[in-house]
Chain A
Amino acid sequence: MMETPLLEAHGLGLRFGTIPALDGVSLEIWPGEVVAIVGESGSGKTTLLRVLSGLLRPDAGSVAYRGPDGATHSVHDMGEAALRRLMRSDWGFVHQNPRDGLRMGVSAGGNVGERLMAVGARHYGGIRAEATEWLRRVEIDPARIDDTPQQFSGGMQQRLQIARTLVTRPRLVFMDEPTGGLDVSVQARLLDLIRELVADLGLAVLLVTHDIAAARLLAHRLLVMRQGRVVEQGLTDRVLDDPQHEYTQLLVASVLAA
């Protein structure tokens, strides 16, 4: 494993009016590591994700990212052009609603190809071959490469979004409730797929979810958030099997057993 973290946040604070959305949050993500942030609605999970990925500027604290060149950059000082470049090459973002991450009027192949073209691919045959390969990897029939996402089921749309995100081989992927809104059997297959791809590609993933089961399946490390604070963190199994904080205990106890 590398000696420095990929992404390092220190003392993040952000208030929306009088509401503290983030309060002294620090975390590190190391290469190849899956970190899950769990907590109830309104606990600041998504805000944290937006701050870490540079979409939102915090009132206090800093986020540092170590680029492929080995140099460390402050995410909020790097400027919009550099951040956008990062967003379309070295980072990926998987949205809860595939409609936010896909172009619904553009074919599946075009959706996967967009990120390739954005980083300079200009060979149609090459782009198409790469898109076909990625559709196969996310278990979408490559014969549907020219269909638009509108003709896909919810689960397929989500898998297409993942293919589109991973096609440029990012090193760090942010996922915001990737299994939200899907039924359980589709969720299970999607989780399997994500786990496989993450292991294959050695991705670092920051996963935001309220689904404890998904977090247990995917994450190496877990952060539990409540009212903008990290109340507990540690290895996933440790936190879930032996919760220390009363809120974590409540959260674990609230999981429905089938």
Chain B
Amino acid sequence: MSTATGYNFAYLDEDTKRMIRRAILKAVAIPGHQVPFGSREMPLPYGWGTGGIQVTASIIGPQDRLKVIDQGADDTTNAVSIRRFFARVAGVPTTERTSEASIIQTRHRIPETPLREGQILVYQVPMPEPLFRLEPRVAETKRLHAMADYGLMHVRLYEDIARHGHIAISYNYPVMVNGRYLMAPSPIPAFDNPKMDRMPALQLFGAGREKRIYAVPPYTAVRSLDFEDHPFEPVRAKAACALCGSRESYLDEVVTDDRGGRMFLCSDTDYCGERQAAVQRDAAE
């Protein structure tokens, strides 16, 4: 793909990148704390990943290799558009392989393949405030964060157990970062929460519309909130992937007809494809 001319490397001008990098550095220094930044207008609508794109644009270099996933898949609209965007404005190589990428921008999933040191995972975040919907006043939520006054979040979990018999939050499940800040992990499934804990890769979160950046540095403790007698349990469909047979990965339920037919597939397309290829290699040998 040809690189677009007339744009600075990676679309944003250098001053904007510096501003965003400063916010990222502060966010890394205070794990889980939301740092305000001057979010720019991007050539796509809010909610399509403007925050994630700005973070990626300010950390990407010509030697980087970028992977973009949307709901775990490399081939959905959002993932394809953002990948093509960076191929054009930065001329960086892209990949669908988790292990080959140095930067992975994601919406709603963490790859199944464990990340390693040196990789950066960039999350697109629609609503960075975990206390949103519980406390309507923004100033008050800031005060609650400052005082580490998080009883309110537990009230929400209590209400869930009282009403449903279990904690019924299946995505965007609140976490405590480094034992200090309550953080919204973006709308990843609760299934992915344990992957955040002490992850060797750097995790950056960008919320474009809400103008916030936050981060989890490598090897930082990330604990999902729970009760002693109702411990956190990652939820997974009780099935194996119809394509690769995995019983460990997070599955999408796909309706195949209008008579109740359905199948379960890995949501992580790269992980599923690798496993299928391995099976074929074994069969050929």
Contact at B159–A106, with CB atoms within 8 Å?
yes
Contact at B229–A123, with CB atoms within 8 Å?
yes
Q: Which one of B150-158, B204-212, B244-252 is at the A interface?
A: B150-158
Residues of the A chain whose Cβ atoms lie less than 8 Å from the Cβ of B284: none
Interface: A187 (CB within 8 A): no
Contact at B227–A118, with CB atoms within 8 Å?
no
Q: How far is the CB of A55 from chain B (nearest CB, A)?
A: 14
Residues of the B chain whose Cβ atoms lie less than 8 Å from the Cβ of A128: 162
Contact at B227–A123, with CB atoms within 8 Å?
yes
| CB within 8 Å of A: which B130-149 residues | 143, 146-147, 149
Contact at B151–A88, with CB atoms within 8 Å?
yes
Residues of the A chain whose Cβ atoms lie less than 8 Å from the Cβ of B228: 122-124
Interface: B238 (CB within 8 A): no
Interface: A97 (CB within 8 A): no
Interface: B230 (CB within 8 A): yes
Interface: A109 (CB within 8 A): yes
| CB within 8 Å of B: which A97-134 residues | 103, 106-107, 109-110, 113-115, 117-119, 122-128
Residues of the A chain whose Cβ atoms lie less than 8 Å from the Cβ of B147: 80-81, 84
Residues of the B chain whose Cβ atoms lie less than 8 Å from the Cβ of A103: 155
Q: Count how many chain B residues have C-beta atoms less than 8 Å from C-beta atoms of the other chain.
A: 17
B147, B155, B163: residue with the most chain A Cβ atoms closer than 10 Å: B155
Residues of the B chain whose Cβ atoms lie less than 8 Å from the Cβ of A88: 151
Q: Which of B143, B155, B163 contacts A117 (CB 8 A)?
A: B155
Contact at A124–B230, with CB atoms within 8 Å?
yes
Residues of the B chain whose Cβ atoms lie less than 8 Å from the Cβ of A109: 158, 162
Interface: B168 (CB within 8 A): no
B147, B158, B227, B228: residue with the most chain A Cβ atoms closer than 10 Å: B158
SS of B interface (majority)? helix
Give Cα A245–Cα B254 distance, bound, in whole angstroms.
82
Give Cα A123–Cα B158 distance, bound, in whole angstroms.
10
Residues of the A chain whose Cβ atoms lie less than 8 Å from the Cβ of B143: 80
Q: A117 and B162 in contact (CB under 8 A), knowing A122-B228, A123-B228, A124-B230?
A: no
Contact at A124–B161, with CB atoms within 8 Å?
yes
Number of interchain pairs (Cβ within 8 Å): 52
Give Cα A117–Cα B155 distance, bound, in whole angstroms.
7
Q: Which of A84, A110, A119 contacts B158 (CB 8 A)?
A: A110
Interface: A242 (CB within 8 A): no
Q: A122 and B227 in contact (CB under 8 A), knowing A113-B155, A146-B163?
A: yes
Contact at A114–B161, with CB atoms within 8 Å?
no
Give Cα A117–Cα B143 distance, bound, in whole angstroms.
18
Contact at B158–A113, with CB atoms within 8 Å?
yes
Name the residue of chain A whose CB is nearest to the CB of B152.
Answer: A114
Give Cα A103–Cα B159 distance, bound, in whole angstroms.
12
Residues of the B chain whose Cβ atoms lie less than 8 Å from the Cβ of A107: 159, 162-163
Name the residue of chain A whose CB is nearest to the CB of B167.
Answer: A124
Name the residue of chain B whose CB is nearest to the CB of A82.
Answer: B147
Q: How far is the CB of A19 from chain B (nearest CB, A)?
A: 28
Name the residue of chain B whose CB is nearest to the CB of A108.
Answer: B162
Q: A106 and B155 in contact (CB under 8 A), knowing A80-B147, A81-B147, A118-B149?
A: yes
**Chain B window 78-118, contacts with chain A (Cβ cutoff 8 Å), 1 for yes, 0 for no:** 00000000000000000000000000000000000000000
Residues of the B chain whose Cβ atoms lie less than 8 Å from the Cβ of A117: 151, 154-155, 158
Q: How far is the CB of B100 from chain A (nearest CB, A)?
A: 42
Name the residue of chain A whose CB is nearest to the CB of B143.
Answer: A80
Give Cα A81–Cα B155 distance, bound, in whole angstroms.
20
Residues of the B chain whose Cβ atoms lie less than 8 Å from the Cβ of A81: 146-147
Residues of the A chain whose Cβ atoms lie less than 8 Å from the Cβ of B230: 124
Give Cα A119–Cα B158 distance, bound, in whole angstroms.
15
Residues of the B chain whose Cβ atoms lie less than 8 Å from the Cβ of A119: 151
Q: Which of B146, B149, B155, B227 contacts A110 (CB 8 A)?
A: B155
Give Cα A88–Cα B227 distance, bound, in whole angstroms.
20
Q: A118 and B151 in contact (CB under 8 A), knowing A123-B229, A124-B227, A125-B229?
A: yes
Q: How far is the CB of B160 from chain A (nearest CB, A)?
A: 10
| CB within 8 Å of A: which B218-271 residues | 227-230
Residues of the A chain whose Cβ atoms lie less than 8 Å from the Cβ of B229: 123-126
Give Cα A88–Cα B144 distance, bound, in whole angstroms.
13
Give Cα A191–Cα B215 distance, bound, in whole angstroms.
52
Q: Can you list 23 A-B contacts (CB < 8 A)? A: A80-B143, A81-B147, A88-B151, A106-B155, A106-B159, A107-B163, A109-B158, A110-B162, A114-B151, A114-B152, A114-B154, A114-B155, A117-B154, A118-B149, A118-B151, A122-B228, A123-B227, A124-B228, A124-B229, A124-B230, A145-B162, A146-B162, A146-B163
Known pairs A80-B147, A110-B159, A146-B163. 16 more at Cβ < 8 A? A81-B146, A88-B151, A103-B155, A107-B162, A109-B162, A114-B152, A114-B154, A117-B151, A117-B158, A118-B149, A118-B151, A122-B154, A122-B228, A123-B227, A125-B229, A126-B229
8 closest Cβ contacts across the A-B interface? Answer: A118-B151, A117-B154, A124-B227, A117-B151, A123-B228, A114-B155, A110-B155, A110-B159
